Amino acid sequence: MPQILVSEVGPRDGLQSIAAVMPTPAKLRWIGALAAAGLREIEVCSFVPPKLLPQMADAAEVVAGACRLSGLAVAALAPNLRGARAAFEAGAAKVTLPVSVSEAHSLANVRKTHAQMRDEVAAVVALRNAEFPSVKLEAGLSTAFGCTLAGQVPEADTLRLAAAMAQLGVDEVGLSDTTGYANPAQVKRLFKALRAELGERAGGAHFHNTRGQGLANVVAALEADVNTFDASQGGLGGCPYAPGATGNIVTEDLVFLLESMGLDTGIDINGLLAARAALREGLPGEPLYGHVPDAGLPNGFAYAREAA
């Protein structure tokens, strides 16, 4: 039976995109509830200067706490060498480096040109190889499908940058619809081209539901043999440096979609609803989204592993 990896990014992408700061114990309770629901990979934080993102000031403590959860792959985001070293030393099993296809977005998001970011990735790979060989490195290509700052992003640019990242030595290259511009035809075409270009280093998909196409894009990516998808509980998140790009796809809705299609995620939806309660406790008053949490599971619903 096909199994899909759902990577929860709410504790990083979600929390860094809102003004409120969730207390560290509340973050760890939420992460623990997500893991108890069956999530096998959670991006728990980003290693950035606290003055820029005070929501992530406790990154090392959160990684340490999450690493105590059995069976959980703890992931983190780091925009540069300094952040990557901190993530490695904290114990993250996977570190994602955000690399923008649009140079305008790169300058806004990480304050680096493409050439500078390539140098940064090369330095991170060298550090990983020398001192932290067990850590998995991902290049997450932001604005891979379009950019609110630069407009259209040529697919050739995305593929060229993906190839450059693979040549620098990252383990995988994922594609992010940072701005909610992607459509299903584009998604299927670009992920097929990515796999043709990179083979096993072709990574997962990070979609936003800004214009309501998030789950349609998931189905298109599945048709291109993508088997890893980022999602955020309650739809929290969106890039603060891409105007209007709100709303990650909702974890609860994604898991229901996949399971109803006969794709095993290993995740219990009722467990996700319990984790949602932990999120509400940690962020009282913050709007949460999702159709499945509102409507519930349909009569006769069966998980893929039960229907097999």
**pLDDT of 179-238, one tens digit each?**
889 999 999 999 999 999 999 999 999 999 988 999 999 999 999 999 999 999 999 986
Instruction: Establish whether 67 is a catalytic residue.
Output: no
Helix axes 251-260, 269-282, angle to 10 degrees: 180
Q: Look at residue 1 in the predicted model and tell me its pLDDT.
A: 57
**In the block, residue with structure tokens 């939420």:** 30
Q: Is the pLDDT of residue 240 over 70?
A: no
Task: Give the confidence band of 115 by pLDDT, cuts at 50, 70, 90.
Answer: confident
Query: 102: left (phi > 0), else alpha (psi -120 to 50), else beta?
Result: beta
Question: What is the mean predicted confidence (pLDDT) over 292-300?
Answer: 94
Question: What is the mean predicted confidence (pLDDT) over 82-107?
Answer: 91
Question: What is the mean predicted confidence (pLDDT) over 48-72?
Answer: 96
**pLDDT of 119-160, one tens digit each?**
999 999 999 999 999 999 999 998 999 887 777 888 999 999
Q: What is the pTM of this model?
A: 0.95
Rg, Å, the chain Cα set: 18
Name residues whose C-beta falls within 8 Å of residue 11's C-beta, 6 or more positions apart in sequence. 27, 30, 31, 42, 43, 44, 45, 62
Q: If one looks up domain 5-307 in CATH, what number appears? A: 3.20.20.70
Q: Look at residue 152 in the predicted model and tell me its pLDDT.
A: 87
Taking the C-alpha atoms of residue 105 and residue 111, their distance in angstroms, rounded to an integer, is 9
Task: Give the confidence band of 38 by pLDDT, cuts at 50, 70, 90.
Answer: very high
- Which position among 45, 67, 147, 239 bears the catalytic label? 239
Q: Torsion angle of alpha carbons 144, 146, 149, 152, nearest 10°?
A: 120
Q: Is the pLDDT of residue 43 over 70?
A: yes
Q: Is the pLDDT of residue 12 over 70?
A: yes
Task: Give the confidence band of 308 by pLDDT, cuts at 50, 70, 90.
Answer: low
Question: What is the mean predicted confidence (pLDDT) over 15-33?
Answer: 95
Task: Give the start-to-end residue ranges of the domains of the chain.
Answer: 5-307
Task: Give the confidence band of 25 by pLDDT, cuts at 50, 70, 90.
Answer: very high
Q: What is the mean pLDDT of the chain?
A: 93
